[in-house]
Amino acid sequence: MLRAAPDYAGLVSGFSWDIPERYNIGVDVCDRWAAIEPERVAILEVSDGAVETTRFGALREGSNRLAGALRALGIRPGDRVAVLLPQSAAVIIAHGAAYKLGAIALPLAGAFGPDALTYRLSDSGARALITDAAGLAKIATLRASLPALDHVVCLDGPAEGALGYADLIASAAPDFTAVETGPDHPALMIYTSGTTGLAKGALHGHRVLLGHLPGFAMMHDFPPKAGDRMWTPSDWAWAGGLLNATLPSLRLGVPVVAQPTARFEPEAALRLIAEHAITTVFLPPTALRMLRTVPDPRGRFDLSTLRNIASAGEALGPETFAWARAELGLTIGEAYGQTECNLVLAACPAAGVARAGSTGRPVPGHRVMIQRPDGTETAIDEPGEIVVARPDPVMFLEYWNQPEATAKKFRGDWMLTGDTARRDADGYIHFVGRDDDLITSAAYRIGPTEIEDCLGCHPAVAMAAAVGKPDPLRTEIVKAYVVLRAGFVASDALAAEIQAFVRQRLSAHEYPREIVFRASLPMTTTGKIIRRQLRDEG
């Protein structure tokens, strides 16, 4: 683990990797605390006001029983075990069982429709699926197109084409000897969110969890601390929810609050934090922008236990950063990464490493650079591509069955992110945008995040997206798609007011010359705006 230090230099100087030759995520997460303190609380499931508590001893026994049952069904090391479940202890038990078997866990988001599920289950060749009645209903018509899917296990009992979970594990032994796995043994495959092209399966080794611990410590104020409780609204099927919050927390013995919800509701989120004494949260930028619509959050909700907010997934923007300080009294620990190589940049408010508009500095142990297309390092404040050097514990092993795509992801020993950023004089990294999201207008290169963040500060705007629209004079102009807050009506006058608001706060070349009002914005299942779709609309 990364130890606390008063400044960034102290964080870096005191750190070195210690990756063991034998390591298994399932054993580390489910068994480590069970051997020391089996009654220690691991997961608190909140549903309809009721709370169900799962302790580490139950995680160990449950994952052991399921691992043994899956082995009896013929699941072997290297097989893919898909997990289609909402936030719950069952998710961790399923992951733990897969890891202990030496199999590859394949998390699937509850928001996926039939096409997304079919593609991922088919492309991965998943042999088993752990799900519930809702997930079973989703795949009922898909089974014929999934010949590799031999076994479906349903938490809600047996059904046509599915084994009942309780029946399956009832006769399985409570003890299980995990397969001896090394840090590079395949453990976890998360499909990229697919904002452009088909999603690719990013395959990770068991080391991926250990690789996340330094960045996790930075963004979450060095847990564990007395009374800590973690919560994230992010689906545990995604790198953010699983690796920026849930698995590292459990590895450190920090209880995780689970609440299966279909969508993020800002007032309900604040109520959950207040009622369950949550101390640290991981909130994607979209969720934080939605929280900004709640008036007087500290006056209306008891947020006295909340000591830390971390965020990643998209650039946060200086306005939301300032809002959190003013309205919540907290400095957000922003971080950056990708499904392929997550949590390599982070802010650390506890060490004085936090700056509005910046996603932090390289996490100790990771070599991150801003490069030009020729591979040379950019100058201070010169935009370039974020690249990460290999080897790196959080870096993926490969794209599943796509060796050419894997090769294209690298330039020599540098992994290419496709994300543009700049480095300031103090070493802070400022995210500009994905290469395909950047707007070129009258020789300016404009990132959409700053515009969107500014738009969100207007009292009428609930959400916004900024894209480039082809223009014969300026190459592109900034076009904004805006979702209004309740009580506001779209009009030309309101559009002009919003344009003037942005122009005054940013600059003449950044304000949106066109505004389109919409009821909603296209989003990925990870809560990122699909700007490509908006650009295609013209």
Q: What is the model's pLDDT at position 195?
A: 46
Task: Indicate the pLDDT class of residue 529, thresholds 50, 70 and 90.
Answer: confident
Q: Residue 435 gets which letter from DSSP?
A: G
Q: In this model, does residue 440 exceed pLDDT 70?
A: no
pLDDT in tens, 58-91: 999 999 999 999 999 999 999 999 999 999 999 9
449 to each of 54, 308, 332, 383, how far by Cα in Å?
40, 23, 17, 15
When pLDDT is cut at 50, 70 and 90, the band that residue 507 belongs to is low
At residue 1, the pLDDT reads 77
Cα–Cα nearest to 173, from 100, 102, 104, 103:
100
* Rounded CA separation 489/371 (Å): 45
Tell me what percent of the residues of the chain surpass a pLDDT of 70.
96
Phi, psi of 450 (to 5 degrees): -60, -40
The confidence score (pLDDT) of residue 526 equals 64
pLDDT, tens digit, 9 for 90 and up, residues 119-135? 899 999 999 999 999 99
The pLDDT of residue 437 is above 90: no
Sign of CA dihedral 62, 68, 69, 74: positive
Cα–Cα distance for residue pair 145/128, rounded to 1 Å: 14
- pLDDT of 138 reads 92
Which domains occur in the chain, in start order?
Answer: 24-41+56-181 (3.40.50.980), 440-537 (3.30.300.30)
103-123: pLDDT as tens digits: 999 999 888 888 889 989 999
Q: For residue 63, give both structure tokens.
A: 């994952």
Of 1, 64, 10, 3, which is closest to residue 353 (Cα–Cα)?
10
